[in-house]
């Protein structure tokens, strides 16, 4: 587990004024990683770190040869067109580079002029996926979401017994992963209208989002070699935002008895910035189970996870309709919650994933599962908020949504904040639904 050090000092300031602005996502205490280039330039993509309203070009910094030794070696890995090699290097390399960048960006640093020459305005860059993703697994780990979803269909139903004993998951599709700004066509699939005698093949009519976190794997494990729960977080490079788009009507028909297929494989959107666990250290919380709930089996239980295995990452979902864009209206906030409510922790997801003999690889992506909280307005999907589409929600300008319309953009935002620590932001994860392609 991560410990606090000088990089978490809330009084620390950068020589870049924008990094010190209240309410910003990217102060010097954050330093998240992404892969980007100047928008429209045709340049090679390369690793970068966010600071204030700028991105520090790590390839340019490596060329300036300001860092040597272990920090210089880690910088060379992080400056590549993908972060896979840096992810594979492990926690010591990640921490060494974080500390070196903190020193270069801190107020009073002697190398300010040289570092400043490698800054790119965030408003002028474009992103690609931060890693070459070999495999993508999406979990199902929010008890509140699971209960809400099943009770829309059966009001008195309860989640399946295995939910409380293992982090459930299915394997997703890597080829349709996209970075924030992704635009995708409404999928077609086989669905069965409630009163129809037979299914039809048609465009989805119940398009939904799912507010999740992206868990990015660092060092992998050999096939057949489990990852002990006590060491699981050493395999977690960092965390971003993830939208697991879902075609609910297709999902309802095809998920009997196996998992989702057409309902999920058409698009998944991730945020470009990955926040390291070191940056999140001030926002750890005990991982707990409510009284009367089953306790995890030994391979999923660890004192350190119980002590500080949860993260208070706050999340919001916003909807911007096509009409709102044309009229200049602001997006409408749909919900807000926190990852601290999740029934299973990130460490438990990783340990369970590898427990059966699966080999994880650097750059693999795990979705946390929809993140919903226990209170009103904390649902992480429109399915829950609009009660299966039967109770549409207000999205401003006289518009309502039971499910998403063509032209709708969903924006996920995440951050951590409390009085005695610096605010740590995740940026945003944005995706837009386009009309279905003509058959």
154: burial class by Cβ within 10 Å (0-12, 13-18, 19+)?
exposed
Tell me if 159 is assigned to some domain.
yes
**Contact assessment for residue 275 and residue 314, using Cβ atoms and an 8 Å cutoff:** no
Tell me if 193 is assigned to some domain.
yes
Whether residues 103 and 250 share a domain: the answer is no
pLDDT recorded at residue 291: 87
**Contact assessment for residue 243 and residue 209, using Cβ atoms and an 8 Å cutoff:** yes
Tokens 């951590």 belong to: 416
Whether residues 89 and 193 share a domain: the answer is no
The DSSP call for residue 297 is: P
d(C-alpha 58, C-alpha 104), whole Å: 12
Number of neighbours of residue 8 by Cβ within 10 angstroms: 20
- Give the angle subtended at the CA of 38 by the CAs of 47 and 95, to the nearest 5°: 20
* Closest C-alpha among 326, 322, 330, 335 to residue 396: 330
Of the candidates 127, 153, 178, which is a domain's last residue?
A: 127
Q: Tens-of-pLDDT digits for all 439 residues of the chain?
A: 789 999 999 999 999 999 999 999 999 999 999 999 999 999 999 999 999 999 999 999 999 999 999 999 999 999 999 999 999 999 999 999 999 999 999 999 999 999 999 999 999 999 999 999 999 999 999 999 999 999 998 888 899 999 999 999 999 999 999 999 999 999 999 999 988 999 999 999 999 999 999 999 999 999 999 999 999 999 999 999 999 999 999 999 999 899 999 999 999 999 999 999 999 999 999 999 988 999 999 999 999 999 999 999 999 999 999 999 999 999 999 999 999 999 999 999 999 999 999 999 999 999 999 999 999 899 999 999 999 999 999 999 999 999 999 999 999 999 999 999 999 999 999 999 999 998 7
**Contact assessment for residue 145 and residue 373, using Cβ atoms and an 8 Å cutoff:** no
- Could you check whether the bond before residue 250 is cis, i.e. omega within 30 degrees of 0? no
* Closest C-alpha among 423, 439, 427 to residue 10: 423
Whether residues 114 and 148 share a domain: the answer is no
* Closest C-alpha among 26, 15, 40 to residue 272: 26
pLDDT recorded at residue 194: 87
Phi, psi of 279 (to 5 degrees): -65, -25
Whether residues 192 and 211 share a domain: the answer is yes
Structural domain boundaries enclosing 103? 6-127
Of the candidates 127, 148, 173, which is a domain's last residue?
A: 127
State the CATH number of the domain containing residue 119.
Answer: 2.30.30.230
How is the beta sheet containing 54-57 ordered, strand by strand?
119-121, 54-57, 46-51, 33-38, 125-127
Counting the structural domains of the chain, the total is 2
Tell me if 1 is assigned to some domain.
no
306: which 2 tokens?
Answer: 């119980």
Whether residues 322 and 365 share a domain: the answer is yes
Whether residues 242 and 319 share a domain: the answer is yes
Say how far residue 259 (Cα) sits from the centre of its chain: 22
- Could you check whether the bond before residue 196 is cis, i.e. omega within 30 degrees of 0? no
State the CATH number of the domain containing residue 265.
Answer: 3.90.850.10
pLDDT recorded at residue 316: 98
- Give the angle subtended at the CA of 348 by the CAs of 346 and 349, to the nearest 5°: 65
* Closest C-alpha among 44, 41, 137, 135 to residue 82: 44
pLDDT recorded at residue 407: 98
Whether residues 54 and 199 share a domain: the answer is no
Whether residues 240 and 322 share a domain: the answer is yes
Helix or strand run (H / E) with residue 428: strand 421-434
pLDDT recorded at residue 374: 95
**Contact assessment for residue 320 and residue 408, using Cβ atoms and an 8 Å cutoff:** yes
Angle between helices 69-78 and 91-105 (to 10 degrees): 100
Tell me if 328 is assigned to some domain.
yes
Q: Which position among 8, 99, 145, 387 bears the catalytic label? A: 145
Tell me if 190 is assigned to some domain.
yes
Whether residues 96 and 142 share a domain: the answer is no
Q: Residue 102: helix, strand or coil by DSSP?
A: helix
- Look at strands 33-38 and 409-418 and give their pairing: unpaired
Tell me if 343 is assigned to some domain.
yes
Of the candidates 68, 101, 127, which is a domain's last residue?
A: 127
Whether residues 303 and 328 share a domain: the answer is yes
pLDDT recorded at residue 2: 83
d(C-alpha 286, C-alpha 304), whole Å: 9
Whether residues 295 and 355 share a domain: the answer is yes
d(C-alpha 220, C-alpha 58), whole Å: 24
397: which 2 tokens?
Answer: 């300008």
Rg (CA), the chain: 22
CB neighbour list of residue 16: distance below 8 Å, 6 or more residues apart:
51, 52, 54, 105, 116, 119
6 catalytic? Reply is no
Whether residues 112 and 142 share a domain: the answer is no
């Amino acid at each position: 587990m991560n410990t606090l050090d000088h990089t978490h000092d809330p009084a620390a300031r950068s020589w870049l004024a924008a990094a010190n602005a209240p309410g910003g996502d990217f102060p010097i205490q954050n330093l998240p990683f992404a892969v980007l280039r100047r928008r429209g330039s045709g340049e090679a993509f390369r690793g970068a770190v966010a600071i204030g309203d700028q991105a520090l070009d790590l390839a340019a910094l490596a060329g300036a040869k300001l860092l040597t030794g272990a920090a210089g070696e880690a910088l060379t890995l992080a400056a590549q067109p993908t972060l896979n090699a840096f992810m594979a290097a492990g926690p010591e390399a990640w921490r060494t580079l974080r500390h070196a960048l903190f020193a270069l960006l801190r107020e009073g640093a002697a190398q300010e002029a040289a570092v400043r020459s490698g800054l790119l305005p965030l408003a002028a860059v474009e992103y690609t996926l931060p890693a070459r993703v070999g495999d993508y697994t999406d979990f199902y780990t929010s008890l509140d979401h699971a209960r809400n979803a099943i009770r829309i269909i059966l009001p008195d139903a309860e989640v399946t017994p295995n939910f409380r004993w293992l982090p459930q998951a299915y394997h997703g599709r890597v080829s349709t992963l996209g970075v924030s700004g992704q635009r995708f066509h409404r999928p077609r699939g086989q669905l069965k209208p409630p009163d129809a005698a037979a299914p039809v093949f048609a465009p989805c009519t119940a398009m939904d989002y799912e507010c999740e976190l992206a868990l990015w794997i660092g060092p992998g494990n050999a096939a057949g070699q489990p990852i002990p729960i006590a060491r699981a977080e050493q395999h977690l490079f960092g965390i971003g935002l993830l939208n697991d788009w879902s075609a609910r009507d297709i999902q309802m028909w095809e998920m009997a008895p196996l998992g989702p297929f057409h309902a999920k494989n058409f698009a998944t959107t991730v945020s470009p910035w990955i926040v390291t666990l070191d940056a999140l250290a001030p926002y750890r919380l005990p991982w707990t189970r409510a009284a009367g709930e089953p306790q995890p089996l030994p391979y999923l239980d660890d004192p350190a996870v119980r002590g500080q295995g949860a993260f208070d990452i706050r999340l919001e979902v916003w909807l911007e309709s096509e009409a709102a864009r044309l009229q200049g209206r602001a997006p409408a906030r749909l919900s807000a919650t926190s990852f601290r409510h999740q029934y299973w922790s990130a460490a438990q997801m990783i340990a369970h994933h590898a427990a059966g003999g699966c080999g994880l690889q650097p750059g693999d992506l795990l979705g946390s599962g929809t993140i919903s909280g226990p209170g009103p307005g904390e649902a992480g999907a429109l399915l829950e908020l609009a009660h299966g589409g039967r109770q549409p929600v207000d999205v401003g300008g006289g518009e309502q949504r039971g499910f998403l319309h063509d032209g709708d953009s969903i924006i996920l935002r995440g951050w951590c904040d409390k009085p005695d620590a610096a605010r740590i932001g995740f940026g945003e994860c944005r995706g837009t639904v386009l009309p279905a392609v003509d058959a």
